[in-house]
Amino acid sequence: MIKAIRGTRDILPPETGLWNFVESAVRDVFRAYNFQEIRTPIFESTELFARGVGEETDIVSKEMYTWEDRGRAESDKGQSLTLRPEATAGIVRAYIEHKLWDRGLNKLYLIGPMFRRERPQKGRYRQFYQIDAEVIGPPSSGSDSAARDAEVIEMLATLLDRLGITGWNLQLNSVGCPNDRDQFNAALRKALEPVVAKMCVDCQRRAVTNPLRVFDCKVPEDEPIIEKLPRISQFLDEPCRKHFEEVQEILKSVGVPFILNDRLVRGLDYYTRTAFEFTHGALGAQNAILGGGRYDGLSESLGGPPAPGIGFAIGEDRLVMSLQEAAESVMKKPDVYVAPLGAGMNRDAARLARELRRHDLIVDLGDENFRLKKSFEAATRAGAKYILIVGENEVKADAFALKNLATGAQVSVPRGELAQRIQETL
């Protein structure tokens, strides 16, 4: 038997109903903040991620699915292509390619699959799904304002509340500008020199290539060493410090609680200034639902004009996992199961089901070959609230037996009143 590849999975009903609920809420909330959808290819030039994400990041150095795309002739050397491991670089590439700066401030979002070859664990897969949003534009559009950072973070708090996720925590930090990080990296290298040999292999590599990534370490034995290292907050210049203070002031004014965490860094090289992460206890040790931050130099690094931006990525797999306890209340089940009884009843049942669906009712349809007992079993298995009997006598009377499967109460309802009767009790 051929099975799904390790690190991938099939998302089956009724769980897909929960995914649809999440994505519908996302679209509604994002629309209220004037975000518009963008769809980019699922594979891009490998160079895009090497330049945009950072060659020394774990994503680029260890986790990408990359291949050589051959030309028409077998001997032709092709282009190196990569399945997208994240969405921001592709969106900024599209911003540059299509000259979206002509539109001023762009508020864009994307929902779709991403790919990373990492060790599968709870809520993490090699093909996973992200909800990504970006605010990007020329400096004249206000894209570099602290107000944009606060608006994006406040929108996320609104979304989590809308989804019914309680007990979330917002962690906030500033990773400064490139000049700040040059000084910080120098201080980190100096602090790491006498202790790095005691750390994990990944941290030993990071200490040389990109010391800031040491703060991404999840190895418990390295924690006491990391705890004593310098913090980026000690190296912020005055503009970065003021920007971060303004973000905090706006969040306080709109009632979004947060915790300052000067160990918080994002795993991608393009981040500057504001960095943030929402966590939730239902996800265990790896408890991050989403994270993001500002990336003011990314456009220039990809050959575009100055275009300050801020964005985030929600791990949809993990977001759905945090909603599992409330799944029953959001996964839609049939309002009514239409049960044709007897030869020739399929046509009448189909016509009646069509009429009910036009009233936005969720209708499941049986078959005339089912006996009454089997129809009741099918309706119960489907989770329907009502079963509607369509037999020869009911068709002649143009009134149908409607039974509430929870209470057992049954009434005869004229065809013209069926939809209203069902809707009134839902």
State percent of the chain over pLDDT 70.
93
What total number of domains does the chain contain?
2
**Is residue 81 domain-resident?**
yes
- Residues 254 and 386 grouped into a single domain: no
Is 214 among the domain residues?
A: no
- Give which of 325, 314, 239 is closest to 281, Cα–Cα: 325
| Cβ 340 vs Cβ 372: under 8 Å | no
Residues 281 and 337 in one domain: no
Q: What is the pLDDT of residue 282?
A: 57
Same domain, 256 and 112: yes
Q: What is the pLDDT of residue 266?
A: 67
Which whole number is the average pLDDT over 77-99?
Answer: 93
Is the same domain home to 31 and 78? yes
Is the pLDDT at 422 greater than 60? The verdict is yes
Q: Is the domain of 311 the same as that of 372?
A: no
Question: Which is more confident, 302 or 329?
Answer: 302
Q: Tell me: do 363 and 284 sit in the same domain.
A: no
Please report the pLDDT score of residue 328 as a whole number. Answer: 58
* Domain end (from 327, 353, 368): 327
pLDDT at 221: 86
Looking at the domain assignment, is residue 97 inside a domain? yes
The answer to whether residue 206 sits within a structural domain is no
**Same-domain pairing of 263 and 375:** no
Q: What whole-number distance in Å separates Cα of residue 154 and Cα of residue 30?
A: 11
Q: Where do runs of H (alpha helix) occur along 165-295?
A: 178-192, 201-209, 223-227, 238-253
Residue 319 sits in the same domain as residue 360: no
Domain carrying residue 380:
333-425
Confidence band, pLDDT 50/70/90 cuts, at residue 262: confident
Q: How far apart are CA 298 and CA 271, in angstroms?
A: 8
What is the per-residue pLDDT for 286?
53
Compute the average pLDDT of residues 178-189. Answer: 83
Q: What is the 3-class SS of 363-425, one letter each residue?
A: EEECCCCCCHHHHHHHHHHHCCCEEEEECHHHHHHCEEEEEECCCCCEEEEEHHHHHHHHHHH
Q: At residue 20, what is the residue type? A: N
Q: Which of 35-44, 195-204, 277-286 has the highest mean pLDDT?
A: 35-44
Decide the pairing of beta strands 288-294 and 309-315.
Answer: antiparallel
165 and 77 in a single domain? The answer is: yes
In 287-352, at which residue ranges do the beta strands (DSSP E only) sit?
Answer: 288-294, 309-315, 336-340
Say if residue 295 is in the same domain as residue 347.
no
CATH at residue 265: 3.30.930.10
Whether 38 has a pLDDT exceeding 70, the answer reads: yes
Lowest mean per-residue pLDDT among 182-196, 334-348, 360-374: 182-196
Which pLDDT band holds residue 26 (cuts at 50, 70, 90)? very high
Q: What's the confidence (pLDDT) of residue 348? A: 93
Report strand pairing: 43-45 vs 106-115: unpaired
CATH of the domain at 374: 3.40.50.800
The pLDDT-based confidence of 71 (bands split at 50, 70, 90) is low
Lowest mean pLDDT among 287-291, 364-368, 376-380, 385-389: 287-291
Q: CB-hemisphere CA count at 13 Å for 23?
A: 16
192 in any annotated domain:
no
> Does the pLDDT at position 283 exceed 60?
no
Is residue 339 situated within a structural domain? yes
Characterize 50-79 residue by residue with b for buried, 16 or more Cβ atoms within 10 angstroms of its Cβ, and e for exposed: bbbbbeebbbbeeebeeeeeeeeeeeeeee
Residue 372: Cβ within 10 Å count: 12
Q: What is the mean pLDDT of residues 239-264?
A: 94
**33 confidence band (pLDDT: 50, 70, 90):** very high
Structure tokens at 112: 């779709």
241 and 346 assigned to the same domain: no
Q: Is residue 296 part of a domain?
A: yes
Higher pLDDT, 234 or 336: 336
Answer yes or no: is 404 within a domain: yes
Residue 267 has a pLDDT of: 57
Q: What is the pLDDT of residues 316-365, one digit of tens each?
A: 998 888 787 656 555 678 999 999 999 999 999 999 999 999 999 999 99
Compute the mean pLDDT over every residue in the chain, rounded to the nearest whole number.
Answer: 89
Look at residues 327, 355, 374 and tell me which one is the last residue of a structural domain: 327
Tens-place pLDDT, residues 119-129: 777 667 899 99
Could you say which of 296, 327, 358 is where a domain stops?
327
**pLDDT band at residue 29 under the 50/70/90 scheme:** very high
Is residue 172 domain-shared with residue 88, that is, in the same domain? yes
pLDDT in tens, 412-421: 999 999 999 9
